[in-house]
A and B are shown apart, each in its own frame.
Chain A
Amino acid sequence: MSHNHAIDRRNLDWYIDKAVQVLVFIGGISAVIFIVGIFLFITKEGIGFLINTLDLQEFFGSPYWEPSDEDAPEYGILALMAGTASVTGLAMLIAIPFSLGSAIYVAEFATGKTREWLKILIELLAAIPSVVWGFIGLTIMNPLIIELFDVPVGLTVLNAGIILGLMAAPIMTSIAEDALKAVPDRYREAAEALGATRWQIIFKTVLPAAKNGLLGAVLLGVGRGFGETMAVLMATGHAVNIPGSVFDSVRALTATIAAELGETAVGSDHYQVLFTIGLFLFLITFLINLTADLIVRGIRNS
């Protein structure tokens, strides 16, 4: 723009406007800065172990986790991974059918007040803190499992799996319901015009159309279960063990960090290996979230 005939608008308001633009941009990129910061600081605290001591084959392949042994510490996370995987796996076996079923009921069957109240109830369920879930596992589920199945210990894969399933289901229900609601009504109307029953409409039309969103919901549930800390710390029994059945106690990756970090000296091998596990958790959940986002975005664009 040439200076001759353009009006100079650079008064105080113009400068405030520019300043605000910079400020909100800083707010915007802060999320990126924090994610990069998380990665950098966790790597920084764990780097000594990563470079000097880490033996990838032992780390991922050995079931022996004895980091506080003074003579011959063992840093194998195989049993911890098995603990996390078994609990998350069982939780998903419970949560996937129930959350998909509930989402279908809320989105396709329920109407009016029932629908409103169900959605509110599901939102409230999702808000219960994880330490309260852990407490429930410890005090309510534990004696219940001992009595029902006549087993000596109730803090097991079964206990933590059920707790984690109940925790993850409300969130998965909400996301799955959004995915079902995103299917245009004209799909349903077209199927109905062809004489399909409600069940046929859902099974043959709505579910295939919402497939990606539902997969995204499941993935976010997996990510949630994988990263859950307090509930699995309190309900699994916290024993390093590759489980043979759902009645075995296990220990999860997240719970190990929570239980041991307080006892380690800053900078020691034990301290650093816990940060290395943290880095591993960060990368896995990053991948899960990225995949879920790509899948959900995929449906929005098509």
Chain B
Amino acid sequence: MFAATELNKKNQRTEKLVRILFVMMAGLLILPVLIILTTLVYKGGGILSIDFLFTNPTNGMTEGGIFPALLGTIWLVVVALLISVPLGIAAAIYLSEYAPDNWGTRLINLAIINLAGVPSIVHALFGLGAFVIFFEFGTSILAASLTLAIMTLPVVIVATRESLQAVPHAFREACWNMGATRWQTIRRVVLPNAVSGILTGVILEVSRSAGETAPIMFTGAVFFSPFLPQGVMDQTMAMSLHLFVVSTQVPNVPENLPYGVALVLIGMVLIMNSISIAFRMHLRGKKKW
């Protein structure tokens, strides 16, 4: 007969204990955040309305809505995407389809890691020194979006490179054997098979750029502007900076106003990320190879 020895029993007890310990660790990581999110919804939910989203702030930003900030964030994100998506996709195509395995490629990879790792305030200093002052764009949507684009470039590059590399090599070889050039192969075979993965990365970048504050503070976003931006050379308000302003810089703000702003901002970001994740899951189920 196989009976559990003392050692077996002791091992089983440790096993159970360890399991409980790790469940608790994962739980303790997630629980505070869930409590915080619930508090945000509880305190900020009441102020949310169509009016809140689509009217201007009034009375020294202590009343009214967030429309100029919402519109400004859309401006900033769209212009940043127009710059970083083509550039990031080109970089990813180079790294995935052309780059030889040498020190130059390693240098590019190191640069990408560092673009993602450099503090956001350092990107802000760069944006100020380069775009606002040197290229004389002034504090404008263009300068702020360029700064955001460079900062979030690694998001697009990494997602695109991954989805390009997920296309099986046999697809390319089949195409080359038909006499197609490298670019024809990429355009007709590789990109169409990777397009959904690229889109996932783009959505992630939207979420990243919408939430960033420091890089736009000195390059194009302002505390308050009585006018809506008319073009890329205008300054603008932005959601992230607006949250900072109403929670630290403006006196006598009613308590639920900053909670409402925080809720809209975090809602935008989380919805974008959820779409990106859902998209990825859907793709994984659909892959033909």
Contact = CB atoms under 8 A, between A and B. Distances in A.
Interface string A9-32: 000011011001101111111111
Contact of B121 (A28, A101, A281, A286): A281
B98 A25 contact: yes
Contacts of B258: 135, 139
A228 interface: yes
A135 B22 CA distance: 30
Secondary structure at chain A's binding surface: helix, strand, loop or mixed? Answer: helix
Interface in B154-175: 154, 157
Interface string B86-99: 11111111110111
A67 to B, nearest CB: 15
A146 B24 CA distance: 27
Interface in B255-276: 258-259, 262, 265-266, 269-270, 273-274
Nearest to A138: B247
A290 interface: yes
Given A105-B25, A127-B269, A28 B91 contact: yes
Contacts of B150: 34
B93 A278 contact: no
Contact of A129 (B12, B124, B133, B240): B240
Interface residues of A, number: 88
B125 A278 contact: yes
A205 interface: no
Interface residues of B, number: 89
A134 interface: yes
B126 A37 contact: yes
Interface in B13-50: 14-15, 18-19, 21-23, 25-26, 28-30, 32-33, 36, 39-40
A197 B11 contact: yes
Contacts of A123: 273, 277
Interface in A26-60: 26-32, 34-35, 37-38, 41-42, 44-45
Contacts of B241: 131
A125 interface: yes
11 contacts: A30-B91, A31-B154, A38-B123, A123-B273, A130-B211, A138-B247, A199-B14, A230-B214, A257-B124, A261-B128, A293-B113
Which 10 pairs between the two chains have the least Cβ-Cβ distance? Answer: A27-B90, A227-B119, A129-B211, A101-B25, A28-B94, A105-B22, A41-B129, A24-B94, A27-B91, A17-B181
Given A140-B36, A173-B29, A257-B124, 7 more contacts: A27-B90, A30-B153, A97-B25, A128-B33, A134-B244, A199-B14, A261-B217
Interface of A: 13-14, 16-17, 20-21, 23-32, 34-35, 37-38, 41-42, 44-45, 97-99, 101-102, 104-106, 109-110, 118, 120-125, 127-132, 134-136, 138-140, 166, 169-170, 173, 197-200, 202, 220, 223-224, 226-230, 234, 254, 257-258, 261-262, 266, 274-275, 278, 281-282, 285-286, 288-290, 293
